[in-house]
Chain A
Amino acid sequence: MSLKYLLGRLAVMVPVFFLVVTLVFFMIRFAPGGPFSSEKSVSPAILKNLEAKYHMDEPLSRQYLHYLKDLLHGDLGPSFKHANRTVNEIIAEALPVSLELGLLSLTWALMIGICAGGLAALKPNTSWDYIPMSFAILGICLPTFVVGPVLVLVFGVWLQWLPVAGWESWQDRVLPSLTLGFAYAAYISRLTRGGLMEIRMQDFIRTARAKGLSESDILLKHSLRGGLLPVISYLGPALAGIITGALVTETIFNIPGLGRFFIESAVNRDYTVVMGTSLLYFTLIFVCNFLVDIFYALLDPRVKYV
């Protein structure tokens, strides 16, 4: 993997980023309604003042150039709906919360998923396989708005082990991260099982056995390295998705994360917040995929990026 390739990959990001900015900017503005339209009619004078304040009275092309100029300075602009707050402030406040929730969930998901999938692959077509894999199907099918309340009901209300909502102590972290991680764990366990099963059919596993290696050595040194590749390529989009896509979980547990801003802003036509969260989402996906690609090449010597 050459430095040239790495720089090239990063350079590609610039035009794509620009394209995303442009597309999202015009799409959200062409959508019917605007940040200041509501059921309660606002007097024309106030509306005019508001529009002047946020440069909404200027032609669209000027607004666009204006936005680009601010963006280049790292300024995502003021929120149209949350008065006196900038998009930078909103992200700075909500992103760490989402990041923490996301990383915790992903840690759960990886731990549970790889163990369950590995077990299933080691003992295929036994109850070690069927039971975790049935749970995995369940996990993929059940939406978080079912898993979350059920967990709250059992551990929060009946057993009273854990708090039902909030984001203060460490106990608050357990249920939301489990809820959010459940589906990912299910998916990862299926990917792990599939990957390991495929590797275990390969001839070089038989060679390893002929060498006189123990089964645990065969698993750790020969199977896992190749068998976990599908999981790793899934981690990129999963990480980005888990950080930004936690709206339902955040709502159930009343967590001040980014997910709610992402959806709320789109409904409210809060143009700048839509832009800010979209660009953040894009950057996260891009960076995560980039890291996954690098990792991939480290694990498989046949993958060469030139």
Chain B
Amino acid sequence: MNSQIPSVLKVRDLKVHYALRKSLFAWGSTPTLKAVQGVSLDLAPGEVLGLVGESGCGKSSLGRALMRLQEPSGGTIEILGKDFLSMRGKELRLFRRNIQMVFQDPYASLNPRMTVSETLAEPLKAHFRLSYAESQTRIVKLLDQVGLSKGSLKKYPHEFSGGQRQRIAIARALILEPKILVADEPVSSLDVSVQAQILNLLKEIQKSLGLSMIFISHNLAVVKYISDRISVMYLGGIVETADRKSLYEKPLHPYTQALVSAVPIADPKIERERKRIVLTGELPSAENPPQGCAFHTRCPWVVPQCLQEKPELLKTPSSTHPVACFEAGKSH
């Protein structure tokens, strides 16, 4: 990434820990679930950063922590050059309009007792002083942008299909004209045929508004389609970050290689001959993560160093992009 352009979002060593309930007879410290363990990332203006990883790797926690819907336990977040984590009360509430989120489940994330018009007018009321007519004009314009008619205004969420609801959720996130959009699995609860429509809509809107976007998904194909750059997460940490092309063509981390090799190729000849890397074992518990490299329990390349030290996400002389692996780039 060009270092001359200031990033709109700068995250350093972000941690999200959840305190688990202490059992009645347990002595000592409260067990914590370390969902995000020291993530650093930058987002350039107009850039789409994809975050991939399997369920439970902490990608949703990371997304929520970026908006402070889940309070981070450590690290720093800088949005538009301002320290986001030091904000309190009203300042925080009003600043949140710069970073908005599209949630995973459009069935649950919209209040079932509010019409589309009420849902969309509410953030405007909280942030701007607009007349009723002005806010209605903005709402209608935005609805049109996400492909919904004016007739939707007086309807309730349950009167729409899943795809339409996600359009409403996108309109809801965009109405405050944010600089950054966090999309947390925005299509994974939709039918496949509808997924493409919503993805195209997001891409279109992102281009035309010049939004910066963080796109969270477990679906590699979806992330590849929409992202400029992709970060791969494993057990609360980023293991590799690369632009879209190099990540798919030259994955360096053994985990990324396994993920990429699991995507089927739509050519029976290649599909039959290519080598698939199948990971063994389960994702370790985030409550008690392994010492050293988090991936060493499932890694085919594991060396003694991996059990002791945690590899940093670094660009090494032998690698083309940042990767958190001691053995990356060596021949295996």
- Hey, which bits of chain A sit against chain B, CB under 8 A? 202-204, 206-214, 217, 221-222, 225-226, 299-302
Contacts and interface: CB of A to CB of B under 8 A. Distances in A.
Contacts of A213: 93, 122-123, 126
29 contacts: A202-B108, A203-B103, A203-B105, A203-B108, A204-B108, A204-B111, A204-B112, A206-B64, A206-B103, A207-B103, A207-B109, A208-B122, A209-B69, A210-B67, A210-B69, A210-B100, A210-B101, A211-B122, A211-B126, A212-B93, A212-B94, A212-B96, A212-B127, A213-B93, A213-B123, A214-B126, A222-B111, A301-B113, A302-B158
A183 to B, nearest CB: 30
Interface string B109-132: 111110100000011001100000
A64 to B, nearest CB: 49
A204 B123 contact: no
Interface of B: 64, 67, 69, 90, 93-94, 96-97, 100-101, 103, 105, 108-113, 115, 122-123, 126-127, 156, 158, 169, 172-173, 176
A163 B113 CA distance: 47
Contacts of A299: 113
B123 A302 contact: no
A82 to B, nearest CB: 51
A212 to B, nearest CB: 4
B108 A217 contact: no
A221 B122 CA distance: 10
Q: Which of A206, A211, A221, A302 is packed against the most chain B CB atoms within 10 Å? A: A211
A206 B109 CA distance: 8
Nearest to A209: B69
A208 B111 contact: yes
A208 B96 CA distance: 12
B69 A206 contact: yes
Contacts of B110: 204, 207
Contacts of A211: 96, 122-123, 126, 172, 176
Nearest to A211: B123
Contacts of B126: 211-214, 217
A90 B123 CA distance: 58
A210 B169 CA distance: 12
Given A213-B122, A221-B122, A204 B109 contact: yes
A211 B127 CA distance: 9
Contacts of B64: 206
A300 B111 contact: no
Shortest Cβ-Cβ A-B pairs, 4 listed: A203-B108, A211-B123, A204-B111, A203-B109
Q: Which of B64, B108, B110 is packed against the most chain A CB atoms within 10 Å? A: B108
